A and B are shown apart, each in its own frame.
Chain A
Amino acid sequence: MSGILNSSIGRKFAMALSALFLMFFLLQHFSINLLSVTSPETFNEVSYFMGNNPLVQYGLQPVLLIGVLFHFIMGFVLEIKNRKARQISYAKNNGGANSTWMSRNMIWSGAAILLFMIFHFNDFWVPEIVEKYVEGKSQVGKDFYAHVVHMFENPIRVGVYVLAFVFLALHLLHGFDSAFQSVGANNKYTKGLKRFSKIYAIGIPVGFIIIALVHHFNH
């Protein structure tokens, strides 16, 4: 058991588990964002809860950060290892004949998502952490909704978000069912899972895009 993370299958399994965790988190993030369109009051209440509940702040938030960091670092480590496994490239390689563009370019869609995460953290997470833990301000009665609306007034920011969600969709189109294959789940349910993975991979990013556009054009 001790050497499992030193093996190719162990690393693959760990990568898949972090991906499944992040995909679950993404669904939860989307559900909360949706409230900003349907009910700003509830959105404010949930945002306050997520930002101030000790279990979320000191339990789930560190797990999420570790999960994100692990997924990115392991992704780059595996890419480097995989490139070393073929030292001379083919003069002609027809990758499109046997695999999808998304599956062959996870590193690039992942790198685009990483850049977006830095941008996104700078927009929302860092100011909130500074406000709470550096300046020591209370968030009781804070209008989180107004902050979101304000952020999406800038068309350049909205453009960056839309582009990032396109990369997220490309990443998920391969990543969703790939995670299940990595943990050994390939059975009679795989066909159905592949169909659901397409719905999730396109539906969630499109949903995020619609939310950003709604806030931009409504205000």
Chain B
Amino acid sequence: MNLTLKIWRQKNANDKGKMVDYKISDVSPDMSFLEMLDVLNEQLINEGDEPVAFDHDCREGICGMCSLYINGEAHGPDRGVTTCQLHMRMFKDGDTIFIEPFRAKAFPVIKDLVVDRGAFDRIQHAGGFISVNTSGNTIDANAIPVEKADADKAFEAATCIGCGACVASCKNSSAMLFVGAKVSQFALLPQGKVEATDRVLNMVKQMDEEGFGNCTNTGACEVECPKGISLENIARMNREYLTASLKG
């Protein structure tokens, strides 16, 4: 396949940045999207140009590092996959592909297509954990019975890899699907109930301080999420938050 790529280039966080056109030839439909970018970068290096910076790590769809807004969608036009699992067979010969970084005030661009998603880490630090004694007296998690339905829902919520596609896809740059998943994975389990009030209050407070927008239930986040995290988690977070606000 021969393709035209329109890629966001930005030298550093302070640079204004712009879309730049590149031509790439002989792209195999079996390549992953990131492999196609690897080929482009080799081409750029050989020509003495600066390669395109983009995030990646496991390339197996589980680490949440790869991002990219491809042809107007987070992780591209395929469903239930991250960019590293997106294959070039999703495109046609002669296509023009727009490649942009995830856009949100809370995700500032560091360079080219790399954004700082540290805001998610700070939200996790605010309450996305349970306090467990790990000094040798750790209690076996299986010692506390958990209803199967709750365990399944908690697991589904915990599959969120924190990639930020929800924020990138949301017209409001809202992080509520991410925070909803992180609140839900503990709210559904007995181990998480002990700190439930502080957890949801602190995580939502941090989310608001980071500058994410307000959720208006468009559902774009759920559609674009590579892990299929459900809007049900946002509703659960809303309930948890309202209950916690009344308590404390």
A residues engaging B (CB < 8 A)? 1, 3-4, 7-13, 78, 81-82, 84-95, 97-100, 103-104, 106, 174, 178, 181-187
> How many residues of B are counted as interface, with CB atoms below 8 angstroms from the partner's CB atoms?
49
Contacts of B245 in A (CB 8 A): 1, 3-4, 7, 10
Interface string of B205-248 (1 = CB under 8 A from A): 10110011111111110011000000110111111011001101
B220 touches A95 (CB 8 A): yes
Contact at A98–B242, with CB atoms within 8 Å?
A: no
Within 8 Å by CB of B72, from A11, A97, A178, lies: A97
Instruction: State whether B103 touches A89 (Cβ < 8 A).
Output: yes
Are A81 and B235 in touch, CB under 8 angstroms? Answer: no
* Contact A98–B238 (Cβ < 8 Å): no
Known: A8-B207, A91-B98. Is A182-B238 also a contact (CB below 8 A)?
yes
SS of B interface (majority) = mixed
Binds A, one of B38-46, B80-88, B123-131, B167-175: B167-175
> Are A85's CB and B237's CB within 8 A?
no
Pick the 6 closest A-B CB pairs, nearest first: A94-B72, A85-B213, A186-B235, A184-B239, A82-B172, A98-B223
B138 to chain A, nearest CB (A): 34
Known pairs A82-B214, A94-B77 / 13 extra A-B pairs, C-beta < 8 Å: A10-B245, A81-B214, A85-B106, A85-B212, A91-B8, A91-B98, A92-B100, A98-B218, A99-B171, A99-B218, A103-B219, A106-B216, A183-B238
CB contacts (< 8 Å) of B219 on chain A: these are 98-99, 103
Min CB distance B224 to A, Å, is 5
Encoded as 1 (CB less than 8 Å from any A CB) or 0, chain B from 1 to 31 comes to 0000010100000000001000000000000
Contact present for A90 and B205 (CB under 8 Å): no
Complex CA distance for A164 and B26, rounded to whole angstroms: 54
A94 to B58, CA, bound (A): 27
Complex Cα–Cα for A87 and B232 (A) = 29
Q: Are B216 and A178 in contact (CB under 8 A)?
A: yes
Q: Which A residues touch B235, using CB under 8 A?
A: 181, 184-186
For B173, the chain A residues whose CB sits under 8 A away are: 82, 85-86
